[in-house]
Chains A and B, each alone.
Chain A
Amino acid sequence: MADPAGTPIRRSPLERTEYAIIVTTLLLLVVVTVQPILNLIAVSFSDPSRVAGKSGLDIWPSGFSIDVWLLLLQHPNVQRGILNSIFITASATAIGVVGTALMAWGLSRPNLPGRRAIFILVLVTIVFEPGIIPDYFLMKQMGLLDTYWSVILYKAINAWYLIILVRFFEEIPEEVLEAAELDGANPFQVFFQIVLPLAKPALATIALFYLVFHWNEFFRAMIYLNDQGKWPLQVVLRQFVVEGDKLAIVGADNAANNIGVAQINLKSLKAGMIIITILPILAIYPLILKFFTKGTMSGALKG
């Protein structure tokens, strides 16, 4: 409820108190959301020798050191994880956007014979999911276990994103397409030269959806990839922080002889690992806010 500009409204003291309470509550929500992340950043930049016992409420580093960051970024497992994550996310997003756009375009043509049948075929996959064990055995039989493909192709085309894109394509005015057809353009030319340029914002939204989804995916990677050399960052992080397997980062030799990484406080290393994993999300967060907000407002609840 925005007040019309330039009409000052007199507020009673009671109303002003109410307003103050609302603002304070919202600020508290902001603090509860952001503080834990700031704390981890502070821990990761603290002098590792001063981290033990550092309060979880602190948002300022104790001392300053980039040792943790240097160690982690030079660590072979972390480097490997970053590269794997980038490779998997980029390939899966590219495949996803292209496949979804092509399929959505066909499905958005109202007179396409078989359109309804294909739609139902897609909807069934939303409603009925037989679970992870059949998925696992399919991977196994196709010989894809322990390959990047097993992770890249998981939900490569997301039924929900497909539906969002179909709805978008359906709203492209028929006259635009007819004009192109009269000029002698074939369906491929219409799609690539007319439809795709018109759909840029929608495609960007879908691309971002896929990007965030694949960057954050860990469960399939965890069950399909035995080979640690193929693990994405999320799985490395999980092994280290959630499973509490400190050897994942410290390394057996180092731990045994208390050298190298083993001398750094585990708490600093864990904080650093978490921040490294969310860094790409933070980097594209302005874009996420812009596109996800619109995409969700227009797509999610349309029915």
Chain B
Amino acid sequence: MSSVDESATAIPSVSGNVPMPRRIVLGFRRWWPYYVMLAPGLIFFVVWHYFPIWQAKMAFEQVRIIPPNIWVGLKHFQTLFTSPVFYQVLANTLIISTLKILFVFPVPILVALLLNEIRGGRFRKFVQSAIYLPHFLSWVVIAGIFISILSPSDGAVNQITGFFGAKPIGYMTDGNASRWVLVFSEIWRSAGWDSLLYLAAIIGIDQQLYDAAEIDGANRWQKVLHVTIPGMVPTIATLFILNMGMFLSADLNQVINFINDVNRGQIDILDTYVYRIGLRTGEYSLATAAGLFKAVIGMVMILAAHFVSKRLTGKGVW
């Protein structure tokens, strides 16, 4: 804790002209119980989050069964950046993230607008209770549910399309469909729950604005267009920017449960690639290099998102 000396002056009982070592002693005498309570958490963060950062140096090393590892500099990054698979994986990640921004992001906004039009408190509560549920299910469960819904023989989707005369499609084993399976399962999981954030924004809108619009003879659509949506814009902007910050994480937990040998070409993302070459085929250093690549770009994007968002809307990532 390097800033102990600086901030210690803030304590009224320790005056500014007491010599420094003594100030630290006095500060510690007052604050030690708090440090004791902080300690377990602090140790946890250092061990569980900072040791791995140090460990990531293996991206620059040749891992040997018998230590020490050999320093090889940027060799693994060169391998990575000349590998066609890496570019395919990067492209998949960007495509899936783009699809999600385009098709998943707007849905909860629409759901919130619909929910807001409901007058009866009971019906609204009922709808909310139902559509929030998938957010609390694991991706393993959701994948299980989607495998069942999309089954070519008796799944609900093919039953419905079959009713209109379409031939059954094996969505889970159709490479072209697989990205859309990711989009729709993400909507199924998060559209309901995420609408809550927008509902909170709508609740914050000044009722007088609606009253004024009513006096001006505005109908339902005009009120939505000129009062509700403008009132949601800060929240929409914040969440959009935060989503952009997460652009390189197309969601490992989701994809790992939908990926198979048939659709790998379309939905293999950076994280699943790291997992596969690292833990399945044992190319530890190459995998760590790919992970570091994602971590560094991801860090830049999250920080950019944070500061842009803070600037525009006053709300940051944290």
Contacts and interface: CB of A to CB of B under 8 A. Distances in A.
B143 A113 contact: no
Interface string B207-220: 10010000000011
A121 B115 CA distance: 40
Interface string B46-68: 10111111011010000000000
Given A113-B3, A133-B274, A156-B48, A234 B38 contact: no
Interface string B95-137: 0000000000000000100111111010100111111111011
Interface of A: 1-3, 15, 18-19, 22-23, 25-27, 29-30, 32-37, 39-40, 53-57, 99-100, 102-103, 105-107, 109, 111-118, 121-138, 153-154, 156-157, 159, 162-163, 186-188, 191, 212, 215-219, 223, 234-235, 237-238, 241-242, 270-271, 273-274, 277-278, 281, 285, 288-289, 292-293, 296-297, 300-303
Contacts of B16: none
B155 A56 contact: yes
A242 B287 contact: no
Contact of B4 (A40, A113, A188, A281): A113
8 pairs of A and B residues whose beta carbons are closest in the complex: A131-B291, A103-B41, A114-B1, A216-B138, A56-B156, A303-B315, A106-B38, A187-B33
Nearest to B41: A103
A188 B33 contact: yes
B119 A3 contact: yes
24 contacts: A30-B131, A55-B159, A56-B156, A56-B159, A57-B156, A112-B31, A113-B5, A115-B7, A122-B45, A124-B49, A125-B45, A132-B275, A134-B288, A134-B291, A137-B58, A153-B48, A157-B41, A163-B318, A187-B37, A216-B140, A223-B275, A237-B140, A242-B144, A303-B316
Contacts of B160: 57
A186 B248 CA distance: 48
Interface residues of B, number: 111
Contact of A2 (B119, B154, B315): B119
B164 interface: no
Given A114-B1, A219-B252, A131 B145 contact: no
Nearest to A51: B154
Contacts of B157: 56
B256 interface: yes
A100 B41 contact: yes
Contact of B130 (A33, A56, A123): A33
A234 to B, nearest CB: 5
Given A106-B38, A113-B10, 15 more contacts: A15-B219, A33-B131, A35-B156, A36-B145, A107-B38, A113-B4, A113-B11, A114-B2, A125-B50, A133-B284, A138-B52, A186-B33, A238-B140, A270-B148, A292-B132
A56 B1 CA distance: 59
A242 B299 CA distance: 32
B309 to A, nearest CB: 8
A277 B149 contact: no
Contacts of B252: 219
A43 B87 CA distance: 43
Interface of B: 1-8, 10-11, 27, 31, 33-35, 37-38, 40-42, 44-46, 48-53, 55-56, 58, 111, 114-119, 121, 123, 126-134, 136-141, 143-145, 147-149, 151, 153-160, 188, 191-192, 196-197, 200, 207, 210, 219-220, 235, 238, 252-253, 256-257, 271, 274-275, 278-279, 284, 287-288, 290-292, 294-296, 298-299, 302-303, 310, 314-318
A30 B41 contact: no
B315 A301 contact: yes
B136 A237 contact: no
A134 B294 CA distance: 13
B178 to A, nearest CB: 14
B41 A132 contact: no
A301 B238 contact: yes
B275 to A, nearest CB: 6
A123 B318 contact: yes
